[in-house]
């Protein structure tokens, strides 16, 4: 069965809107694990628009499931990651003005740089996942520079409809198969929801999905336990 990693960033977004302490992303992470999530992911952005440094270390110390630290490969954030020693880091592109991550890494422009980043983490026994578009070029580069995991960007699939969505889904299927064939583990994320995750979870090579905004939105209406368990039900059904 495809596993679930819960992104708790937007619990912090809501907290920060009021400037108080609620809702706590730390509590959300602990409860998500209790309700069956296999992992927790946070994205510590350079502008600290949601998760902050204190949150990151508190979550790391509060959960026992996989902790995935999503990050841009800047000097400051790399230093924090070294100190944090998460179970996994996911390297993503980051633009200051974007509402959310807009696409995969452009590995082809800076292969030596990304290779040095990956090797820096492996020297510290921290596995690296690279957030990439579902194409063979970026997946091949990921493998060549030492990553062991690729997270396939599902945003184009999530935003498409009808035949266009089927085209995007086929790209993800092909990419996942190729990635596994060259020895990479495959996960997927971005824009996934209760309406579109089933088809992604049906792809046998995809081991894990990362879901944040949609799950947090459902939690606000129905509660976190139901939000997590509803998504787990989708993943379980897809495995049948």
Phi, psi of 71 (to 5 degrees): -160, 150
- Considering the domain boundaries, does residue 168 fall inside one? no
Provide the residue range defining the domain that includes 37: 3-128+189-238
| Residue of 10, 153, 190, 205 with catalytic role | 190
Of 123, 100, 120, 113, nearest to 49 by C-alpha is 100
Place of tokens 């790209």: 171
Q: What are phi and psi of 87, to 5 degrees?
A: -70, -20
Q: Quick one: pLDDT band at residue 97, thresholds 50, 70, 90?
A: low
pLDDT-derived band at 98 (thresholds 50, 70, 90) equals very low
Residue 232 has pLDDT above 80, yes or no: yes
Q: Does the residue 155 lie in any domain?
A: no
Q: Is residue 176 assigned to a domain?
A: no
Count of structural domains, the chain:
1
Judge residue 181's burial from the number of C-beta atoms within 10 Å of its C-beta, 0-12 exposed, 13-18 middle, 19 or more buried: exposed
**33 annotated active-site:** no
Active-site residue identified among 70, 94, 151, 168 = 70
Query: Residues 48-86: pLDDT tens digits?
Result: 999 999 999 999 999 999 999 999 999 999 999 999 999
Indicate whether 86 belongs to any domain: yes
Instruction: Classify residue 53: in a domain, yes or no.
Output: yes
- The predicted model scores a pTM of 0.95
Q: Is 43 a residue of the active site?
A: yes
- Residue 106 counted as domain residue: yes
- CATH at 41: 3.20.20.70
Point out the catalytic residue in the list 43, 50, 153, 156: 43
Residue 157 has pLDDT above 60, yes or no: yes
Quick check: is 213 catalytic?
A: no
Smallest CA-to-CA distance from 8 within 219, 231, 229 is with 219
What lies within 8 Å, CB to CB, of 75 at 6+ separation is: none
Residue 151 belongs to a domain: no
Instruction: Give ∠ CA 123-127-133 in degrees, rounded to 5.
Output: 125
């Amino acid at each position: 069965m495809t596993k679930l990693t819960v992104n708790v960033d937007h619990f912090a977004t809501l907290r920060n809107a009021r400037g108080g302490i609620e809702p706590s992303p730390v509590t959300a992470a602990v409860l998500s694990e209790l309700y069956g999530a296999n992992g927790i992911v946070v994205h510590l952005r350079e502008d600290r628009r949601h998760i902050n440094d204190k949150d990151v270390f508190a979550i790391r110390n509060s959960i026992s499931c996989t902790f995935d630290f999503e990050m841009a490969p800047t000097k400051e954030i790399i230093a924090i990651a070294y100190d944090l020693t998460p179970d996994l880091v996911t390297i993503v592109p980051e633009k200051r003005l974007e509402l959310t991550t807009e696409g995969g890494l452009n590995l082809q422009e800076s292969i030596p740089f990304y290779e040095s980043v990956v090797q820096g983490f492996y020297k510290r026994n921290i596995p690296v996942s690279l957030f990439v578009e579902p194409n063979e070029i970026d997946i091949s580069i990921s493998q060549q520079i030492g990553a062991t995991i690729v997270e396939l960007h599902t945003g184009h699939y999530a935003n498409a409809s009808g035949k266009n969505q089927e085209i995007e889904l086929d790209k993800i299927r092909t990419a996942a198969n190729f990635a596994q064939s060259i020895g990479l583990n495959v996960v997927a994320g971005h824009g996934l929801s209760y309406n579109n995750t089933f088809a992604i979870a049906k792809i046998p090579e995809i081991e894990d999905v990362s879901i944040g905004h949609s799950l947090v939105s459902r939690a606000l209406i129905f509660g976190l336990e139901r939000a997590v368990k509803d998504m787990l039900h989708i993943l379980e059904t897809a495995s049948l």
